[in-house]
Amino acid sequence: MPGRPKPTAVKKLQGTLYKKRLNTEEPKDLRDASQMEPPAYLDDTAKEMWQFSVSQLPKNMLATLDWSAFAMWADTMSKIIAIEKIIQQEGLTYTNEKTGTVYAHPLLKEQDQLKNLLRGYITELGFSPSSRARVHTFGGKKTGEENGFDEL
C-alpha cells in the first residue's frame, strides 16, 4: 500500500522531485501566512492560537485551500484548552452522591476524542517534530555537519 502523496514543495525540499513525479494539478497559490486573518467564527483562544502559529510558519507554506484545515486545528486547540480549564477546576473525578461511586470526569472522554482529531491536523499541517523532520532543505547542511569534500 503506497504512502500518502506528498506536495511538490515537500518533494523539492527533500530533494526527491523528478519530472515524472511532478503533480501539475497541485494548487500553486501559496500565501504568506502572516497576511491572513483568522476566520470570524473562531473564539478568542482559537484566534490567539492562529496568530501564534502564523508567526511561526515559514512564508509561502500554506495554500488557500489549507486555511480550512488550519482553522479547524485552531478551533480544536481552543476546545481542548477550554475542557482542560474545566477539568482543572472540577477535578479528574466526581463522586455519585447516592452510591458513593467515583467516576472519571465525563469531559475526559471528549478531550481524548479532540486530541485524536488534533493529531491528524498536526500531522497534515507539519506541526509535529516528526512531520517537520521529514522535510529537509535541498542541498543544505545540518548544523555542525562537515563534508570532507568541501576543501577539495
Give 138's pLDDT tier (boundaries 50, 70, 90): very low
Q: What pLDDT is attached to residue 70?
A: 87
The domains of the chain are located at 43-49+60-127
Q: What is the pLDDT of residues 23-64, one digit of tens each?
A: 666 556 666 666 778 889 999 999 999 988 888 877 666 766
Q: What pLDDT is attached to residue 152?
A: 43
Q: What is the pLDDT of residues 88-101, one digit of tens each?
A: 999 999 888 899 99
Q: What pLDDT is attached to residue 53?
A: 85
Here the contacts of 107-115 (C-beta below 8 Å, separation 24 or greater) are 107/83, 110/83, 111/80, 111/83, 111/84, 111/87, 114/76, 114/79, 114/80, 114/83, 115/80
